[in-house]
Structure 1
Amino acid sequence: MNKLREYYQSKQTHRPLVLTALVIAMFMGAIEGTIVATAMPNIVSDLGGFSLYSWVFSSFLLMQAVTTIIYGKLADLYGRKPIFVIGVVIFLIGSILCGLAPTMTMLIVFRIIQGIGAGAIHPIVSTMVGDMYTIEERAKIQGYLASVWGISSVIGPLLGGFIVQFADWSWIFWMNIPLGIIGLIGVLLFFHEEVTKEKKSIDYIGAGLFFITISSLVIVLVQGGSAWDWNSLQIISLISTFIVGTGLFIWQETRAKVPMMPLYLWKNKLITVANLATLTSGMIILGLSSFLPTYVQGVMGYSPIIAGFTLSTLSLGWPIAATLAGHLVLKIGFRRTAILGGLALLLGGTLFLNLDPGKGPIYAGFSSFVVGIGMGLTSTTFIVAIQNSVDWKMRGAATSLNMFMRIIGSTVGAAVLGGILNQRTNQLLTSQGADLSIGNTDVLLDETSRSQLPQDVLELLQGTLSTAFHSVFIGVFIIALISFIFTLLFPKNK
């Protein structure tokens, strides 16, 4: 304790303690995505609102995407510590409120608050590590941070399954509180920095235009064909807003002193292809994370723990392939390694295309593992190739842009596939003349309610949901095919 007091009083950063705090904070932010996915069936059975399912993910990721770049610029202006603290505090407030949510609508509102805070965690942690360690040390430390994502992705689905099996689903949010407090204490006491008072401009107009534009697109994709007709005034207005907003955003980014998204990076073919493939692969990863547990529970009829297993295999294949990719790029090059990753994604998409309830959770888990292999090979190859293709002054912007594209891909993926699920379910129930709606599928996610259903109603609902999910898996296959095509376009780069 005396040594720790001396470090604090000397205003020197105690790197091991700060790194421990940052790793815990990173784990808290990383586990939130997968642990919520496994618990969603229980949340829906408790709160209802199946038609709002995808909004629980889209709202969180949308706010995280918009605020990530803004937080990075604020950290340059006001320092890393205050922005990190603000982000974690907002995240914890959102976590507490999520656990207390009385309805699905309120849960979505509280997830927005959570997403606003989450936008600070990943970029600021990476920046603080860059500040504390030398160039020679960063590769090793960044490896630790990367392993946090892999570990949290494996633990998340299983932990979520155990929590909803043996406790209330609120604890998947409340477990963040002790983790966040530890992270805050470590940074507040043992991270010290000298902030240069240099006035820098922040592209608030660009951030605002981007938020309006992407929000309009996401709402169209989620609500179109289910809550609103495609030719309705709401959809037409939102599409018009998206088109006009995109034009204004591009115009703003060309004139801003410090643009939110540096458009000149898109002139680099390698960066463009890698970012587009990252966008589509991000759609795959969240599409499966959002809907596979529900399929295993609602259609196959297995427990939350089994559902978590089918998703955790994806997270197991990812770090294995990411490690392998580091060796492959040195032996066969970036392009060939990326193509191997694209092939794995396409194979995984094909396996899901042929998934049916009779194949069981083992088949679903293996399919997820193959997709994880593809994600590990492509994501590592893309980020290393991008950083290798630009000089030091552009490396931070290029890296953050790739991370940004993955978040946007995840947001759009959840919205697109969620919209397909909602629309197809409504179509099937209407065409069969059943006096049922999409809201009646909520009972399939609660074992007690499901057992009380008449056999004919149970078979009708499960058959409807199975067919609707097949449409989702068709979408996953098409996105995987597009990702593979992008890897074929990846340029050769030494």
Structure 2
Amino acid sequence: MKRGLISALVIIMFMSAIETSIVSLATPAIGKDLGVHESLALIFTSYMIAIVIITPLVGEIMKRLGSKYTMIAGITVFIIGSMLSGASFTFPMLVASRLIQGFGAGIMMTMGSIIPKIAFEIPYRYKVMGIVGSVWGISSIVGPLLGGLILTYLKWSFLFYINVPVAIIAIVLVLKFFKFDEQPSKSKLDVKGLALFYAFLSCVIVGFALGNTLSIAIYVAALILLYLFIKFEFKVAAPFLPVRSFNKKIGITMGTDMIYAMMLMGTNIFLPFYLQTEKGLTPLMSGLTTFSISVFWLTSTFILKHVERKLSVKQVYQLSFLYMIIGASIILLTESVIAVTIGCIFLGLSYGTVFTKNVVTIQESAAPQELGSMMSAYSLLKFIGSTTGSVVMSFVYYSNVLSNIHNNMAVMVIIAIILIIIYQMIYRGKVVR
């Protein structure tokens, strides 16, 4: 049962994780085939917007369908989007198909954070979270290799069709191994709360997309809508988002996760780019160099239970921030590829500890009936952190303060030092385990 559940989660998360890296290789071929050049970024933008839109709803869907059928719904939508993407003969059709695919991916990724809480107890859950989390690093190597092979011998549409047989295997595993005792909720849907939240989210997306002076007014409107949303949710018996359950512990956890998601983009996107453009490594060699992040991400989850026996919550986080300082400093102060590999070891320990500890903290803090909603909010904030992080870290990378990747590493060192200080102040005098 455990092996079946873990296999299902790994396959589902792998499909979601590999999608961006594998499709990015095909953009030149897609542009040539469909006669589009300047708007190719919409292939990725539509996918990400769909994830942002659907993620907050996953908790509500799960309340009504249960985890098994919510996951099957997500995989099915993903299959439909993949098939339509592969069959697209116009660019608007491809963008619309990617939107559908993104809806499915958003459900799968959010459920991937919820299922371990339902199925596994701590400390075994740490191992499961580590295995599932390491899939993202593995996909960064497998994606370019698989994509290159497909583009060499087949048409770009097969990059999407390849998802179909894998997704069918995932559905079979879900049907066989997702056996949880759940009762569908009959609570009334919080329509007004949903409307206010999506109005707020729309303002954030539009403001981010515009990126000009008008964005300031849109962000102000977003803050007003957020205030109205929170105020309204406090009055609702069955709120769309359980704001009453948010406390300092959940707030600092989600904030830390969002910041770490931003920093992860500075590593995942720009470290391979640096190794290939500045160090002349092949995509495969750069992938193998940074693969130590995934290996030690997984390692950190296996040793986390032992670390927690000896250290308080504050000390666990501060140790992980120290890992970040050491890893980023090694890459910042050296030019050697071997040194980069060593630095990635410490980065992997830091990311693995923080992300695993964060998701388990949210899982354990949420009441059973609020788990889906709380994890949806967590997943949304993490994805927003990743999306904004790709923009912020791009700006940092190309700034002229230092040179390329060293800018990113310097910023990551500074952020880690600030986080150590913040956690020292928040947990002052407390020995919380």
Counterpart in the other structure of 2:149: 166
User: Relative to 1, partners in 2 of residues 1:73 and 1:290: Cα closer, same or farther, differing over 3 Å?
Assistant: same
Quick one: distance in 1 between partners of 2:330 and 2:157?
34
User: Relative to 1, partners in 2 of residues 1:192 and 1:316: Cα closer, same or farther, differing over 3 Å?
Assistant: closer
1:178 to 161, 165, 173: 165
Residue aligned with 2:25, SS: helix
* Offset, 1:50: 9.7
Counterparts of 1:355-434 in structure 2, within 5 Å, are 359=335, 361-385=337-361, 401-418=377-394
The 8 Å contact of residues 297 and 307 in structure 1, kept in 2 or not, is answered as yes
Q: Which amino acid aligns with 1:336?
A: Q
Counterpart in the other structure of 1:199: 186
Counterparts of 1:440-459 in structure 2, within 5 Å, are none
Residue aligned with 2:234, SS: helix
How does the TM-score come out when normalised to structure 2?
0.78
The 8 Å contact of residues 75 and 171 in structure 2, kept in 1 or not, is answered as yes
Look at both structures and tell me which one has the larger radius of gyration over its CA atoms.
1
The 8 Å contact of residues 57 and 290 in structure 1, kept in 2 or not, is answered as no
Q: Which amino acid aligns with 2:165?
A: P
Residue segments in structure 1 that go unaligned for 5+ positions in a row: 1-14, 225-229, 429-465
1:79 to 66, 69, 73: 66
The 8 Å contact of residues 131 and 298 in structure 2, kept in 1 or not, is answered as no
Counterpart in the other structure of 2:305: 326
1:313 to 292, 296, 300: 292
Counterparts of 1:242-253 in structure 2, within 5 Å, are 242-253=222-233
Residue aligned with 2:241, SS: coil
Q: Which amino acid aligns with 2:392?
A: V
The answer to whether residue 192 in structure 2 is matched with residue 238 in structure 1 is no
Counterparts of 1:128-143 in structure 2, within 5 Å, are 138-139=121-122, 142-143=125-126
The 8 Å contact of residues 165 and 304 in structure 1, kept in 2 or not, is answered as no
How much identity, in percent, do the aligned residues show?
24
The 8 Å contact of residues 14 and 139 in structure 2, kept in 1 or not, is answered as yes
Quick one: distance in 2 between partners of 1:302 and 1:369?
19
Q: Which amino acid aligns with 2:423?
A: T
Residue aligned with 2:266, SS: helix
Q: Which amino acid aligns with 1:322?
A: T
* Offset, 1:99: 5.0
Quick one: distance in 1 between partners of 2:92 and 2:290?
26
Quick one: distance in 2 between partners of 1:292 and 1:170?
29
The 8 Å contact of residues 284 and 480 in structure 1, kept in 2 or not, is answered as no
* Offset, 1:87: 1.0
User: Relative to 1, partners in 2 of residues 1:475 and 1:176: Cα closer, same or farther, differing over 3 Å?
Assistant: farther
The 8 Å contact of residues 31 and 152 in structure 1, kept in 2 or not, is answered as yes
Q: Which amino acid aligns with 2:81?
A: G
Counterpart in the other structure of 1:35: 18
Quick one: distance in 2 between partners of 1:26 and 1:470?
35
Residue aligned with 1:374, SS: helix
CA deviations on 1:120-177 (whole Å, 9 max, x unpaired) are 224446666766x6xxx64476456424314423421221232244332665544322
User: Relative to 1, partners in 2 of residues 1:271 and 1:300: Cα closer, same or farther, differing over 3 Å?
Assistant: same
Residue aligned with 2:306, SS: helix
Quick one: distance in 1 between partners of 2:41 and 2:331?
20
User: Relative to 1, partners in 2 of residues 1:295 and 1:243: Cα closer, same or farther, differing over 3 Å?
Assistant: same
Q: Which amino acid aligns with 1:413?
A: G
* Offset, 1:327: 1.0
CA deviations on 1:12-34 (whole Å, 9 max, x unpaired) are xxx57xx62x4444223422465
Deviates more, 1:164-173 or 1:284-293: 164-173
* Offset, 1:321: 1.6
Quick one: distance in 1 between partners of 2:366 and 2:176?
36
Residue segments in structure 2 that go unaligned for 5+ positions in a row: none
The 8 Å contact of residues 241 and 374 in structure 2, kept in 1 or not, is answered as no
Residue aligned with 2:189, SS: coil
Counterpart in the other structure of 1:455: none
The answer to whether residue 234 in structure 2 is matched with residue 254 in structure 1 is yes
Deviates more, 1:31-40 or 1:252-261: 31-40
Give the alignment's Cα RMSD to 1 decimal: 4.0
Quick one: distance in 1 between partners of 2:315 and 2:183?
44
Counterpart in the other structure of 2:57: 70
The answer to whether residue 239 in structure 2 is matched with residue 263 in structure 1 is no
The answer to whether residue 419 in structure 2 is matched with residue 488 in structure 1 is no
Counterpart in the other structure of 2:259: 280
The 8 Å contact of residues 417 and 472 in structure 1, kept in 2 or not, is answered as yes
User: Relative to 1, partners in 2 of residues 1:376 and 1:82: Cα closer, same or farther, differing over 3 Å?
Assistant: closer
Q: Which amino acid aligns with 1:488?
A: Q
CA deviations on 1:348-372 (whole Å, 9 max, x unpaired) are 34445457xxx36444443333221
Q: Which amino acid aligns with 2:63?
A: D
Quick one: distance in 1 between partners of 2:58 and 2:253?
24
* Offset, 1:285: 1.5
Counterpart in the other structure of 2:276: 297
